[in-house]
Structure 1
Amino acid sequence: MERLSMLIEQKVQSGVWKGVKASRGGPFISHLKNADDLLLLGKATETQLEVMMDSLQLFCDASGQKVNKAKSPIFLSPNVPTARARQLSSTCQIPLATDMGKYLGIKLVQGRVTRSSFADIVEKVNKKFTGWKAKSLCRATLVQSLTSAIPQYKMQTMALPAAVCSEVDKMNRKFLWGDRAEQKKGLPC
Protein backbone atom coordinates (compact mmCIF):
# COMPACT_ATOMS: atom_id res chain seq x y z
CA MET A 1 0.00 0.00 0.00
CA GLU A 2 2.91 2.33 0.66
CA ARG A 3 4.02 1.92 -2.95
CA LEU A 4 0.53 2.85 -4.17
CA SER A 5 0.55 5.96 -1.96
CA MET A 6 3.88 7.02 -3.46
CA LEU A 7 2.55 6.43 -6.97
CA ILE A 8 -0.53 8.54 -6.25
CA GLU A 9 1.58 11.31 -4.71
CA GLN A 10 3.77 11.40 -7.83
CA LYS A 11 0.68 11.80 -10.02
CA VAL A 12 -0.71 14.52 -7.74
CA GLN A 13 2.58 16.45 -7.77
CA SER A 14 2.83 16.21 -11.55
CA GLY A 15 -0.72 17.63 -11.79
CA VAL A 16 -2.20 14.56 -13.49
CA TRP A 17 -4.31 13.48 -10.49
CA LYS A 18 -6.64 16.21 -9.21
CA GLY A 19 -7.73 15.62 -5.62
CA VAL A 20 -10.83 17.05 -3.97
CA LYS A 21 -11.31 19.49 -1.11
CA ALA A 22 -13.32 18.50 1.94
CA SER A 23 -13.99 22.17 2.71
CA ARG A 24 -13.45 25.54 1.05
CA GLY A 25 -10.22 26.38 2.83
CA GLY A 26 -9.02 22.80 3.22
CA PRO A 27 -6.21 20.99 1.42
CA PHE A 28 -6.72 18.79 -1.65
CA ILE A 29 -7.07 15.12 -0.74
CA SER A 30 -6.23 12.39 -3.26
CA HIS A 31 -6.52 9.26 -1.14
CA LEU A 32 -7.06 7.96 2.37
CA LYS A 33 -5.88 4.59 3.63
CA ASN A 34 -6.31 2.57 6.77
CA ALA A 35 -4.81 -0.91 7.08
CA ASP A 36 -6.02 -2.64 3.91
CA ASP A 37 -8.80 -0.14 3.13
CA LEU A 38 -8.30 2.53 0.50
CA LEU A 39 -10.42 5.50 -0.54
CA LEU A 40 -9.45 7.23 -3.78
CA LEU A 41 -10.67 10.79 -4.32
CA GLY A 42 -10.75 12.79 -7.53
CA LYS A 43 -12.87 14.86 -9.84
CA ALA A 44 -15.76 13.10 -11.58
CA THR A 45 -14.30 13.09 -15.09
CA GLU A 46 -13.32 10.31 -17.45
CA THR A 47 -9.74 11.60 -17.51
CA GLN A 48 -9.46 11.40 -13.72
CA LEU A 49 -11.07 7.97 -13.71
CA GLU A 50 -8.47 6.77 -16.24
CA VAL A 51 -5.64 8.15 -14.09
CA MET A 52 -7.03 6.35 -11.02
CA MET A 53 -7.59 3.05 -12.84
CA ASP A 54 -4.12 3.21 -14.46
CA SER A 55 -2.54 3.86 -11.05
CA LEU A 56 -4.36 0.89 -9.55
CA GLN A 57 -3.35 -1.31 -12.49
CA LEU A 58 0.32 -0.31 -12.15
CA PHE A 59 0.19 -1.17 -8.46
CA CYS A 60 -1.56 -4.50 -9.12
CA ASP A 61 0.99 -5.45 -11.78
CA ALA A 62 3.89 -4.67 -9.44
CA SER A 63 2.44 -6.27 -6.31
CA GLY A 64 0.50 -9.20 -7.72
CA GLN A 65 -2.63 -8.06 -5.90
CA LYS A 66 -6.01 -7.55 -7.55
CA VAL A 67 -8.84 -5.08 -7.01
CA ASN A 68 -12.15 -6.78 -6.27
CA LYS A 69 -14.40 -4.50 -8.32
CA ALA A 70 -17.57 -6.10 -6.93
CA LYS A 71 -16.56 -4.97 -3.41
CA SER A 72 -15.23 -1.59 -4.53
CA PRO A 73 -18.14 0.78 -5.17
CA ILE A 74 -17.78 4.12 -6.90
CA PHE A 75 -19.47 6.99 -5.09
CA LEU A 76 -20.01 10.32 -6.75
CA SER A 77 -21.20 13.64 -5.39
CA PRO A 78 -24.96 14.21 -5.61
CA ASN A 79 -24.05 17.20 -7.80
CA VAL A 80 -22.86 14.86 -10.57
CA PRO A 81 -25.67 14.21 -13.07
CA THR A 82 -27.05 10.66 -12.93
CA ALA A 83 -26.23 9.97 -16.59
CA ARG A 84 -22.58 10.92 -16.06
CA ALA A 85 -22.40 8.83 -12.87
CA ARG A 86 -23.71 5.76 -14.71
CA GLN A 87 -21.30 6.37 -17.59
CA LEU A 88 -18.29 6.56 -15.24
CA SER A 89 -19.42 3.44 -13.41
CA SER A 90 -19.82 1.59 -16.69
CA THR A 91 -16.42 2.74 -17.96
CA CYS A 92 -14.51 1.33 -14.99
CA GLN A 93 -16.88 -1.62 -14.47
CA ILE A 94 -17.30 -0.76 -10.81
CA PRO A 95 -20.82 -0.63 -9.32
CA LEU A 96 -22.27 2.77 -8.51
CA ALA A 97 -23.12 3.38 -4.84
CA THR A 98 -25.68 5.87 -3.60
CA ASP A 99 -24.39 5.82 -0.03
CA MET A 100 -20.86 5.34 1.27
CA GLY A 101 -22.16 3.56 4.34
CA LYS A 102 -20.35 3.46 7.66
CA TYR A 103 -16.73 2.87 8.61
CA LEU A 104 -16.03 1.89 12.21
CA GLY A 105 -19.59 2.89 13.09
CA ILE A 106 -19.45 6.44 11.69
CA LYS A 107 -21.15 7.49 8.45
CA LEU A 108 -18.50 8.31 5.85
CA VAL A 109 -20.53 10.98 4.12
CA GLN A 110 -22.31 13.07 6.66
CA GLY A 111 -24.74 15.74 5.59
CA ARG A 112 -25.86 18.45 7.95
CA VAL A 113 -25.51 17.22 11.52
CA THR A 114 -28.94 17.13 13.14
CA ARG A 115 -30.59 15.56 16.12
CA SER A 116 -31.55 12.53 14.02
CA SER A 117 -27.86 11.97 13.21
CA PHE A 118 -27.44 10.89 16.83
CA ALA A 119 -30.68 8.99 17.37
CA ASP A 120 -28.66 5.82 17.93
CA ILE A 121 -26.92 7.37 20.95
CA VAL A 122 -30.21 8.28 22.61
CA GLU A 123 -31.52 4.79 21.83
CA LYS A 124 -28.44 3.09 23.32
CA VAL A 125 -28.66 5.13 26.53
CA ASN A 126 -32.37 4.37 26.80
CA LYS A 127 -31.73 0.62 26.32
CA LYS A 128 -29.10 0.68 29.08
CA PHE A 129 -31.55 2.21 31.53
CA THR A 130 -34.31 -0.21 30.55
CA GLY A 131 -32.05 -3.18 31.24
CA TRP A 132 -30.78 -1.99 34.62
CA LYS A 133 -32.59 -2.63 37.84
CA ALA A 134 -32.45 0.70 39.60
CA LYS A 135 -32.87 -0.66 43.14
CA SER A 136 -30.10 -3.25 42.97
CA LEU A 137 -27.35 -1.15 41.37
CA CYS A 138 -25.45 1.98 42.30
CA ARG A 139 -27.24 4.34 39.94
CA ALA A 140 -24.80 7.26 40.23
CA THR A 141 -21.84 5.07 39.23
CA LEU A 142 -23.75 3.60 36.28
CA VAL A 143 -24.71 7.02 34.96
CA GLN A 144 -21.19 8.38 35.31
CA SER A 145 -19.31 5.42 33.85
CA LEU A 146 -21.56 3.90 31.22
CA THR A 147 -24.01 6.38 29.77
CA SER A 148 -21.46 9.17 29.55
CA ALA A 149 -19.14 6.85 27.58
CA ILE A 150 -21.71 5.96 24.90
CA PRO A 151 -21.53 9.25 22.92
CA GLN A 152 -17.76 9.71 23.27
CA TYR A 153 -16.79 7.73 20.15
CA LYS A 154 -19.00 9.77 17.82
CA MET A 155 -17.98 12.99 19.55
CA GLN A 156 -14.42 12.41 18.29
CA THR A 157 -15.56 13.16 14.74
CA MET A 158 -18.37 15.70 15.18
CA ALA A 159 -20.05 17.91 17.75
CA LEU A 160 -23.26 16.66 19.34
CA PRO A 161 -26.23 19.00 18.94
CA ALA A 162 -27.34 20.62 22.20
CA ALA A 163 -30.74 18.90 21.91
CA VAL A 164 -29.08 15.44 21.99
CA CYS A 165 -26.97 16.38 25.03
CA SER A 166 -30.08 17.68 26.79
CA GLU A 167 -32.03 14.51 26.00
CA VAL A 168 -29.26 12.23 27.34
CA ASP A 169 -28.93 14.42 30.45
CA LYS A 170 -32.70 14.24 30.98
CA MET A 171 -32.62 10.42 30.78
CA ASN A 172 -29.67 10.35 33.19
CA ARG A 173 -31.50 12.55 35.72
CA LYS A 174 -34.69 10.52 35.40
CA PHE A 175 -32.79 7.28 36.05
CA LEU A 176 -30.69 8.77 38.82
CA TRP A 177 -33.48 10.44 40.81
CA GLY A 178 -36.48 8.38 39.69
CA ASP A 179 -39.78 9.39 38.13
CA ARG A 180 -41.95 12.09 39.62
CA ALA A 181 -44.43 9.39 40.55
CA GLU A 182 -41.84 7.86 42.85
CA GLN A 183 -41.03 9.56 46.09
CA LYS A 184 -37.80 11.51 45.95
CA LYS A 185 -35.03 9.83 47.87
CA GLY A 186 -31.63 11.01 48.90
CA LEU A 187 -28.56 10.60 46.70
CA PRO A 188 -29.01 7.23 44.95
CA CYS A 189 -25.80 5.55 46.05
Structure 2
Amino acid sequence: MLDTYCNASGQRINHEKSSIFFSKGCPGPVREAVQNSLQVHNESLSERYLGMPTDVGQSKNGTFKYLRDRVWEKIK
Protein backbone atom coordinates (compact mmCIF):
# COMPACT_ATOMS: atom_id res chain seq x y z
CA MET A 1 0.00 0.00 0.00
CA LEU A 2 2.85 2.40 0.83
CA ASP A 3 4.54 1.61 -2.49
CA THR A 4 1.32 2.47 -4.32
CA TYR A 5 1.12 5.76 -2.43
CA CYS A 6 4.78 6.56 -3.19
CA ASN A 7 4.35 5.81 -6.88
CA ALA A 8 1.19 7.91 -7.12
CA SER A 9 2.46 10.89 -5.11
CA GLY A 10 6.13 10.92 -6.09
CA GLN A 11 7.03 11.04 -2.40
CA ARG A 12 9.45 8.60 -0.80
CA ILE A 13 9.76 7.17 2.68
CA ASN A 14 12.97 7.93 4.54
CA HIS A 15 13.48 4.70 6.47
CA GLU A 16 16.29 6.23 8.55
CA LYS A 17 13.92 8.86 9.96
CA SER A 18 10.93 6.53 10.24
CA SER A 19 9.94 4.75 13.41
CA ILE A 20 6.99 2.72 14.58
CA PHE A 21 5.27 2.21 17.91
CA PHE A 22 3.09 -0.75 18.85
CA SER A 23 0.56 -0.94 21.66
CA LYS A 24 1.28 -3.20 24.62
CA GLY A 25 -1.16 -5.84 23.39
CA CYS A 26 0.44 -6.32 19.97
CA PRO A 27 2.02 -9.80 19.74
CA GLY A 28 5.77 -10.05 19.07
CA PRO A 29 5.44 -11.96 15.77
CA VAL A 30 3.07 -9.30 14.42
CA ARG A 31 5.51 -6.56 15.43
CA GLU A 32 8.38 -8.30 13.65
CA ALA A 33 6.31 -8.93 10.52
CA VAL A 34 5.19 -5.28 10.30
CA GLN A 35 8.70 -3.96 10.97
CA ASN A 36 10.17 -6.22 8.29
CA SER A 37 7.45 -5.34 5.81
CA LEU A 38 7.84 -1.59 6.35
CA GLN A 39 11.63 -1.79 6.67
CA VAL A 40 11.45 0.15 9.90
CA HIS A 41 13.67 -1.31 12.56
CA ASN A 42 13.33 0.99 15.53
CA GLU A 43 10.43 1.48 17.86
CA SER A 44 10.07 4.80 19.61
CA LEU A 45 7.53 6.98 21.28
CA SER A 46 8.71 10.29 22.56
CA GLU A 47 6.84 11.97 25.36
CA ARG A 48 5.62 14.80 23.12
CA TYR A 49 5.14 15.44 19.42
CA LEU A 50 4.48 18.97 18.18
CA GLY A 51 4.00 20.03 21.78
CA MET A 52 1.22 17.55 22.50
CA PRO A 53 1.46 14.34 24.55
CA THR A 54 1.76 11.23 22.41
CA ASP A 55 0.40 8.73 24.95
CA VAL A 56 -2.94 10.02 26.23
CA GLY A 57 -4.23 6.86 27.93
CA GLN A 58 -7.46 6.66 29.91
CA SER A 59 -7.14 9.88 31.92
CA LYS A 60 -7.57 12.75 29.48
CA ASN A 61 -7.96 15.25 32.34
CA GLY A 62 -4.59 14.37 33.83
CA THR A 63 -2.84 14.30 30.47
CA PHE A 64 -4.02 17.72 29.35
CA LYS A 65 -4.06 19.41 32.77
CA TYR A 66 -0.84 21.28 31.96
CA LEU A 67 -2.54 22.79 28.90
CA ARG A 68 -5.54 23.95 30.88
CA ASP A 69 -3.25 25.44 33.54
CA ARG A 70 -1.18 27.32 30.96
CA VAL A 71 -4.25 28.76 29.26
CA TRP A 72 -5.75 29.74 32.64
CA GLU A 73 -2.53 31.56 33.61
CA LYS A 74 -2.66 33.58 30.38
CA ILE A 75 -6.33 34.42 30.89
CA LYS A 76 -5.68 35.71 34.42
Runs (5+) with no aligned partner, structure 2? none
Higher relative contact order (CA 8 A, sep 6+): 2
Change (3 A) 1:88 1:108: same
What is the letter of the counterpart of residue 91 of structure 1? S
Instruction: Output the CA distance in 2 between the equivalents of 1:80 and 1:104.
Output: 26
Residue 55 (structure 2) aligned to one of 102, 109, 118: 109
**Is the contact between residue 22 and residue 31 of structure 2 (CA under 8 Å) also seen in structure 1?**
yes
1:93: which partner in 2? 39
In the alignment, structure 1 residue 148 sits paired with structure 2 residue 73: yes
When residues 92 and 102 of structure 1 are mapped into structure 2, their CA distance, relative to the original with a 3 A threshold, is same
Q: Residue in 1 aligned with 2:8?
A: 62
Segments of 5+ residues of structure 1 without an aligned counterpart are: 1-53, 126-145, 153-189
5 Å-filtered alignment, 1:135-174, equals: 148-149=73-74
- CA separation of 1:82/1:100 partners in 2, compared to 1, >3 Å: closer, same or farther? farther
CA–CA distance in structure 2, aligned partners of residues 104 and 98 of structure 1 = 15
1:77 aligns with 2:23: yes
For residues 41-96 of structure 1, what are the alpha-carbon distances to aligned partners after superposition, in whole Å with 9 as ceiling and x for unaligned?
A: xxxxxxxxxxxxx2x21222233221112222122221102332123212221134
Quick one: percent identity of the two aligned structures? 27
Aligned CA distance change for structure 1 residues 59 and 83 (closer, same or farther; 3 Å): closer
More strand by share: 1
Instruction: Provide the aligned C-alpha RMSD in A.
Output: 3.1
Q: Which amino acid is the alignment partner of residue 37 of structure 2?
A: T
Larger radius of gyration: 1
